[in-house]
Amino acid sequence: MITKIYHSFTFALNGLKTTWKEEQNFRIEILIGAIVVFCILFFKFSLVETLFSVVAVTIVLISEIINTAVEDLCNKVQPEHDPIIGKVKDTMAAFVLVSSLGAGIVGILVFYNHFI
């Protein structure tokens, strides 16, 4: 049982390492997440502000991981240019963009509260 759990964590950490190594946007999003954590501590965000901020950053990171997995799968299934695969990749990029815009809106609303 413990061995199975250990292997599950090992596989998950390998996925994070791969995403970190291969995806520049993921590294940028991690940096932004670290800045958000610093701001949470520095500006003494309320529990609700902290919750919204952490959830927003987490959603962006999850979106990037899913995007990476789907893009890699698409590249494996169809290495040549294909309009349907292109549509899937564009849709996944839109998924990350929408989650990032949502996180940005959360950030603006939370920071606005500290600067008025």
The pLDDT-based confidence of 59 (bands split at 50, 70, 90) is: very high
Q: What is the pLDDT of residues 60-110, one digit of tens each?
A: 999 999 999 999 999 999 999 999 999 999 999 999 999 999 999 999 999
What pLDDT sits at residue 113?
81
pLDDT at 116 over 90: no
pLDDT at 114 over 90: no
Full set of structural domains in the chain with CATH: 2-115 (1.10.287.3610)
* Mean pLDDT computed over 35-58: 97
What pLDDT sits at residue 1?
83
* Mean pLDDT computed over 10-26: 96
What pLDDT sits at residue 115?
81
What pLDDT sits at residue 109?
95
| CA angle (16 as vertex; 57, 38 as ends), nearest 5 | 35
Chain mean pLDDT for the chain:
96
